[in-house]
Amino acid sequence: MFVFTASIYRWRFTKVELSGSAGAGQYKSIEATHMPLLRFDVVKGRTDAELKAMLDASHRAVLSAFNVPARDRYQIVHEHEASRMMVEDTGLGFDRSSKVVIVSVTSRPRSEMSKRQFYADLCRELAGHAGIEPSDVVVTFTINSDTDWSFGGGKAQFLTGEL
């Protein structure tokens, strides 16, 4: 794998061996290395220290899986009364606790491989540093494009070349 940096975008190219002679050694998957926006839906009652541990652990997973710059960090916590969150197991046999967290990731396109790495890294980090069991972690991705982001000043910085 190699990383190509352009003046406007940072992209990760992964060399994928395709089956058959046609297309062998082609560069198939391309993904941006800019940050995602993470929203955390949790049951009220966590301390500020517990929330910080959750956010820090999640950021380490983002850094590891998506290779984003350390200061590309956008996280929002939404706290809900316990009666306002119904998070069942979809028939998978998970036991959920009051520490359940739904992580909604809004991002430019990511590869299946990097998403799978994120799921694993996130669960490992949350269990090890925030006391949240993997059975209490639900993740969903919403994919968007460069035209869907403005970081302030009334500009679309991915389109203007500022990012």
Question: 119-153 pLDDT, tens per residue?
Answer: 999 999 999 999 999 999 999 999 999 999 999 99
Checking if the pLDDT of 111 tops 90, the result is yes
Checking if the pLDDT of 7 tops 60, the result is no
Structure tokens at 56: 């820090």
Task: Tell me whether residue 36 is one of the annotated catalytic residues.
Answer: yes
Q: Which of the residues 36, 69, 109, 134 is marked catalytic? A: 36
Structure tokens at 121: 């890294």
Q: For residue 104, what are the β-bridge partners?
A: 39, 140
pLDDT score at 99:
98
Is the whole-model pTM more than 0.85?
no
Neighbours of 153 (CB within 10 A): 9
Cβ(69)–Cβ(142) under 8 Å?
no
pLDDT tens readout for residues 56-93: 999 999 999 999 999 999 999 999 999 999 999 999 99
Structure tokens at 130: 């925030």
Q: What share of the chain is helix, strand, coil (3-state, %, to 5)?
A: 30, 30, 40
**Nearest Cα to 102, choosing from 83, 114, 86?**
86
pLDDT score at 31:
55
